[in-house]
Amino acid sequence: MDSLNIDEVNCQVKGWLKEARENIIHAFGNPLSVETKSSRVDLVTNMDKQTEKFLVNKIREFDPNAKILGEEGFGDNITNLDGTVWIVDPIDGTMNFVKQKDHFAIMIGIYENGIGKLGFIMDVMNDVLYSGGPENGVFANENKLDKPENTSLKDGLLGCSSPMLMMDYNHLQTIVKHSSGARVYGSAGIEFIHILRGQEIGYISHLKPWDFAAGKILAETLGITVKTIDGSELDMLQSANVLIATENAQEDILKLLNSF
């Protein structure tokens, strides 16, 4: 398509995510096929692959000219953000999905020439779809979300990657000690949801584009900063150490890091 019709895309994607969610829940009755990727704790299942294929097919049918970046590789080999780019994470939090059957999300971010237009995070087990973008605001199902309070680091909980927390990456332990405490939920999507709802003031983790593509659009729409941990812009085609935070918490964290 030449330019996104936001309402039409919104309506279409919501239907796909509803169907993808139902497929995942029905699949809980069947044995799961689990493989490892880069390490013992980097998992992929038949349902990650099946869900990505399902979404990629829907996108291609709806928008044949779209470029698609998908975690499991059923999309395209993308080298730039020209045109409409759909970034898909079929199951974010695969470890939680496998071990907990809870606390995971389906995520889609849609960019036009590098500009975030619409983001979708489906909290599968709670059946809540977070959706929206700069043109229409952010919704939890049908309820429009207010901007979360611009809370300082000391007054809020900080989502963390546990490997980073353990290795004290970039003084993360000091940052946590200046906050109200650390939380580790094991899914970028679930962390983004807590930030959108004002339940965390931020999240620090090493993320891939599909981990932050949808959440970045939703979070920025609500005044949350989504940058690298040193405050630079994210490259939507590269992994990065990402800091998602309220403006005040980001400022507090950058100040702390500069004091070392």
Residue 193's alpha-carbon distances to 49, 77, 161, 197, 222, in angstroms, are 23, 29, 16, 6, 12
108 is known to lie in a ligand binding site: no
Stretch in the footprint of a copy of itself (CB under 8 A) among 51-59, 63-71, 163-171, 203-211 = 163-171
Out of 19, 76, 102, 112, name the contact with a copy of itself by CB under 8 A: 102
Amino acid code (one letter) for 169: Y
* Residue 18 within binding range of a copy of itself, rule CB under 8 A: no
Out of 33, 80, 150, 162, name the contact with a copy of itself by CB under 8 A: 162
Tokens describing residue 218: 């939703």
Total chain residues near a copy of itself (CB under 8 A): 29
* Residue 180 within binding range of a copy of itself, rule CB under 8 A: yes
b or e along 216-241 (b: 16 or more beta carbons within 10 Å of the residue's beta carbon)?
A: bbbbbbbebbbbebeeeebebeeebb
* Residue 95 within binding range of a copy of itself, rule CB under 8 A: yes
* Residue 170 within binding range of a copy of itself, rule CB under 8 A: no
Q: Is 97 helix (H, G, I), strand (E, B) or coil?
A: helix
Out of 59, 182, 234, 244, name the contact with a copy of itself by CB under 8 A: 182
Q: 15 or 163, CB closer to a copy of itself?
A: 163
7 is known to lie in a ligand binding site: no
* Residue 5 within binding range of a copy of itself, rule CB under 8 A: no
* Residue 32 within binding range of a copy of itself, rule CB under 8 A: no
Out of 63, 72, 191, 200, name the contact with a copy of itself by CB under 8 A: 200
Asked whether the beta carbons of 68 and 81 are under 8 A apart, the reply is: no
Determine whether 28 is exposed, middle or buried from the number of CB atoms within 10 Å of its CB (0-12, 13-18, 19+): exposed
- Write out 8-67 in H/E/C secondary structure: HHHHHHHHHHHHHHHHHHHHCCCCCCEEECCCCCCEEEHHHHHHHHHHHHHHHHHCCCCE
The owner of tokens 């207010």 is: 146
Stretch in the footprint of a copy of itself (CB under 8 A) among 17-25, 193-201, 210-218, 234-242 = 193-201
The residues binding a copy of itself (CB under 8 A) are: 40-41, 95-96, 99-102, 154-157, 160, 162, 165-166, 168, 173, 176, 180-186, 194, 199-200
Output the known binding site: 71, 89, 91-92, 211
